[in-house]
Every structure is written in C-alpha cells, then in structure tokens.
Amino acid sequence: MPLPQPVAEELRRIVGRESVIDAPNDLRIFERDGSIEGAVPDAVVLASSTEHVSAVIKVAAKHRIPVVPRGAGTGLSGGAVTIRGGIALQVTRMRKILAIDPVAQTALVEPGVVNQELSLVAAQHGLFYAPDPSSQKACTIGGNAAENSGGPHCLYYGVTTNHVLGMEVVLADGSVHWVSGDAPDRVGLDLCGVLVGSEGTLCAITKIKVRLLRIPPSIATMLAAFPSIETASQAVSAVIGHGIVPAALEMMDSVTVGAVEAHYHAGYPTDAGAVLLVEVDGIAESTRELMAAIGKILGENQGYAIREAQTPAERELLWAGRKGAIGALGRIKPNYYLHDGVVPRSRLPQVLSAVGEIGEHYQLPVANVFHAGDGNLHPNILFDLRDRQVLHQVEAAGEEMLRAVVELGGALSGEHGIGLEKSAFMPWIYNPDDLGAMHRVKDVFDADGILNPGKIFPDPSRKSVHLAGRTGLAVEAKWW
C-alpha cells in the first residue's frame, strides 16, 4: 500500500521531490534483488548523504514504517526485498571514494562504491581490495559489508569482515555512530564485528573504512581437468593436505564448463567432469615453486589437461569464465535458484552427490560452480520462471539440498546471507536459546523492529507470503 501522503511529503522535503519514488510502475524496478523473492516497496527513497539516511530513518521510526537499506540489488538471499512493505532506502548515489591512504593501506568509501572500482582506483597506489564476489563489477562495498560477502580469493585472504576496519552507521532511531575495529588493543564489544554481516537488520551503513593490500609481484593461475567432481574434490583435499593454501581454488562441473566455454571460449576442456581453477601469488620464486607442487599433486589425483596461464590476458580470460559462469548458464535456462551452503572440504563428494540426486529426482538441471577450497558450494537450480508449475519443485529441491548440507555437518550460508531464502531453516542449526539470544541483540539495536523486518529469523506467518513472492506476484504486505 502507498505511504500516507503526509509521510511521503515529509520524505520529499528531506531528499527532494525527484528522489522519492512511489508510482506503482516505477516501484516494480525495486521489487527484487538477485534472488527469486519479490515484494514491491511502498516507496523508494534515493539518499545522497548520511544526513539523508539519518533523517529518513527518523521519519520511519516516528511512524513505525519498515526501512530496508538497499545497494545494487545483487544479493542472492532476498536481503533487499521489502517483504513487509515500507521504504526501500537506496544508497547507490553515495558512491564516493573519500580517501585512500597508501601508507596506512586503507580506504574510506561510501556504501555505493562498486567493489571492482575500489580495486581499480587503489591500483594506482599499488594496492587492491581483496574480497572479490563474482558480481564485483556491479555489487557495492556497503552491500558486501551488510552481507559479509566472500569471493574466490577469500580462501587465502578472508571474507569482508576481515577487511573492514570501521564503519559509520545509522541506527533505528536515526542516530549516527562510528564503530571501529581497527585498534589492536580495543576494549569492550566489537560492534563493528556485530554489524558487518547483519544484513540491514541492525543498521544502515553510510561509510566504510577498509584495509587494502599490496598487489603481489607475481600471480600464477592454473587450470586442470578431472574425470569427475569426486576426483576433483579429492585433488582439492590433497592440495590443502600438503599444507598449501592457494589464493583461490575454484571448481566448476561439466554443465557449467559447457556453458562457460560456449560463451567465453576460454579454453576450458568440455570433456571434463569437473575443472579446477587454482591461483597463487607472492614473490616470483614462491609462485613458481607452488605452481610446480600443485601441478604435481593435481596430476597424481587424476588431473589432466593441466596448463598455466602464460600471459595476463590469458589469466583474465580464465577468470572471466569463472566469474561470468552464472550469467553463462542462461544459455541453458533463463532463471536460476542459487544456494551457498558450506561443508567441510572432505564432505564435498558426498554433498555434491546428494545435490545431483535431488536434481534428478525433481527433473531439474543443476549446475555447480563454487569455492572448493573452503567447501562453499553453489548449486544452481536452472528453470524457466514462465513455467509457474515448476516453482514449487525448485523451492523443494533447494530446501532438500540445504538439508543435505546440514546433515553433513555444514552451515546454511558461506557468503550470501540468510535473508528470506533460509530464515525458515535457522532452527536446523540453532536451538531456541540461540535464536532468543540473537533476538535480544536485534532488540537492543532496533526495539521497534523497523530495520529490514522479516529477515534472518524464522517467521511462522511467512510461508504464504514466501510462496506468493516466488510466483512473481506483488506481495501486499501492510506496514505497522
């Protein structure tokens, strides 16, 4: 339902008339993120400053209207979907890189800065930003911090929380605070650590101070083919078992390889049951030694067609295939449903076998492309949204895949967040006392529950809304 006119006018006085969107057709653009959930907001507010964000949240708090902070909309768990209506608070206009300190190796950025743009600018100082989600050409640093995003190179370098040093945040009452985690001798609660990965349920992020790293003098990238996912998984365990932790260790199955090669012509062997993409960096002598050792281990574990990229252009092409894999799958079906459960590396063969069996049971094609080095799998269930009957099958298959992950000692999410997609499954991992403790943290930061409501925690009333969203229909959620 639309916001009451006096509230809409109050918001327009804050950000300007053109920066409040409430026409029904225009709101459709903000109905979704990268998941298959959908719900139309009551209004979209385009903020350009911390002052805007603070003032908008104060209005929302006064009228008890839900507020959902929103970045580029590339999230994959429904975190930016306004499931209970209210205001979608869009911060992509806040896209300045405010400062880069090449001596301290830090950057201060606004939340709308695109991930890859930060590394491109930092490269002028011989630096780079390590977390690199596959959507890094589009996703924003604010969204990465909200979801604690990962990426291929996080096996060695760590996920977003390992690189955030401090943040300026706006709480549910509209107050602005700086929370810092960069002091080595800090005393008390690590509020920065609490807020990174809180998925917009505890605060809106308006500035982020991040750690930058020196660009390594040498980078080496290797591609290897394997007869099956099982043999490739064994090779992954063998590499780690030898005490080698590459910068990246990625796997793609035969379905993904076929789609990627048809689109990118990167030289991926299409006869393979699976391929591994391995990268190491450091000084030249070290990378040569590591590549030789890794190549030997892969060969001993049935690897073939092993080749190392000989030029930067060849390396970029190999990575273009990996990072563009999800888009390339559009050659098979126009839509996908993607999960990101995590299992111990040793359990990859079992969970991937289960994923394959579930896909066959539901007669749905499944493509696997994932961070094999840390056991973070990404089964893509491929389907056509125009076939309304298939959506329930897709949902059921995804639930069974996550159940298999949990039964094998895994976790619900490695980098995409819980959001809407997995909130109903939280009791699989956490008991009522655990969830109660989390609720109490939420209540401390957001007593009235206006910040991104309906996310992370199980909601007994959500099932019907959940399925309505999956049919692509507008969810008529009332705010209160």
Mean pLDDT score across all residues of the chain: 93
Which of 214, 231, 259 finishes a domain?
214
**What is the secondary structure of 63-101 as a DSSP string?**
HT--EEEESSS--SSSTT--TT-SEEEE-TT---EEEEE
CA distances from 131 to 99, 102, 123, 196, 438 (A): 19, 18, 15, 14, 26
DSSP-derived letter for residue 342 is B
CA–CA separation, 147 vs 366, rounded Å? 25
| Per-residue model confidence as pLDDT tens digits over 102-115 | 999 999 999 999 99
Question: What pLDDT score does 19 carry?
Answer: 98
For residue 246, being part of any structural domain is answered with: yes
Whether 477 is covered by a domain: the verdict is no
Choose the final residue of a domain: 214, 247, 271: 214
Long-range Cβ contact pairs of 354-361 (< 8 A, separation 24 or more): 354/401, 354/404, 354/408, 355/379, 355/401, 355/404, 358/397, 358/400, 358/401, 358/404, 359/397, 361/397
Alpha-helical regions (H) of 183-311: 191-195, 229-241, 254-264, 284-300
pLDDT band at 471 (very low <50, low <70, confident <90, very high): very low
Here the tokens at position 367 are 């493509």
Same domain, yes or no: 210 and 313: no
**CA triple 107-14-209, angle to 5 deg:** 10
Average pLDDT of the residues in 131-152: 97
Helix, strand, or coil (residue 341): coil
The confidence band for 37, taking pLDDT boundaries of 50, 70 and 90, is: confident
Structure tokens at 287: 């990378």
* Exposure class string for 168-206: b at 16+ Cβ within 10 A, else e: bbbbbebebeebebeeeeeeeeebbebbbbbbbbbbbbb
Same domain, yes or no: 168 and 182: yes
- For residue 126, what are the CA distances in angstroms to 102, 220, 248? 8, 18, 20
Residue 432, domain member (yes or no): no
Structure-block tokens of residue 402: 């996550």
Give the range of the structural domain holding residue 59, as residue numbers without chain letter.
Answer: 5-92+437-470
pLDDT at 433 over 50: yes
DSSP 366-415: EEEEEBGGGTB--EEEEE-TT-GGGHHHHHHHHHHHHHHHHHTT-BS-SS
Residue 467 has pLDDT above 50, yes or no: no
pLDDT above 80: residue 476: no
On whether both 320 and 303 belong to a single domain, the answer is yes
Q: Give first-to-last CA distance, the chain, whole Å.
A: 11
Residues 104 and 189 in one domain: yes
Q: What phi and psi, each to the nearest 5 degrees, are found at residue 127?
A: -125, 165
Residue 410 lies in a domain: yes
Tell me the CA distances in angstroms from 192 to 8, 46, 287, 434, 480, one per residue in order. 32, 25, 35, 21, 30
Confidence check: pLDDT of 188 > 80: no
Q: What angle do the packed helices 229-241 and 348-361 form, to 10 degrees?
A: 160
Task: Identify whether 88 is part of a domain.
Answer: yes
Number of structural domains (the chain) is 4
**Residues 101, 158 within the same domain:** yes
| 430 in a structural domain | no
* CATH at residue 87: 3.30.43.10
Whose tokens are 């959930």? That residue is: 37
**Residues 203 and 105 both lie in one domain:** yes
CATH number for the domain including 314? 3.30.70.3450
Decide if 465 is inside a domain. Answer: yes
Whether residues 225 and 203 share a domain: the answer is no
Residues 74, 104, single domain; the answer is no
Quick check: 115 and 130 in contact, CB under 8 A? no
How far is the CA of 42 from the CAs of 20, 65, 332, 342, 456, in angstroms?
11, 10, 35, 35, 22
The enclosing H or E element of 440 equals helix 432-445
pLDDT at 183: 62
Residue-wise pLDDT tens digits, 259-288: 999 999 999 999 999 999 999 999 999 999
Residue 281 lies in a domain: yes
User: Helix, strand, or coil here: 106?
Assistant: strand
- Are both 192 and 261 inside the same structural domain? no
Residues 380 and 282 in one domain: no
Same domain, yes or no: 231 and 319: yes
Residue 2's pLDDT is 87
Rounded CA separation 323/116 (Å): 12
For position 465, what pLDDT does the model report? 35
Q: Tell which of 327, 356, 387 closes a domain.
A: 327
Instruction: Please tell me whether residues 38 and 84 are part of one structural domain.
Output: yes
Contact yes or no for 80/145 (Cβ under 8 A): no
Give mean pLDDT, residues 172-195: 85
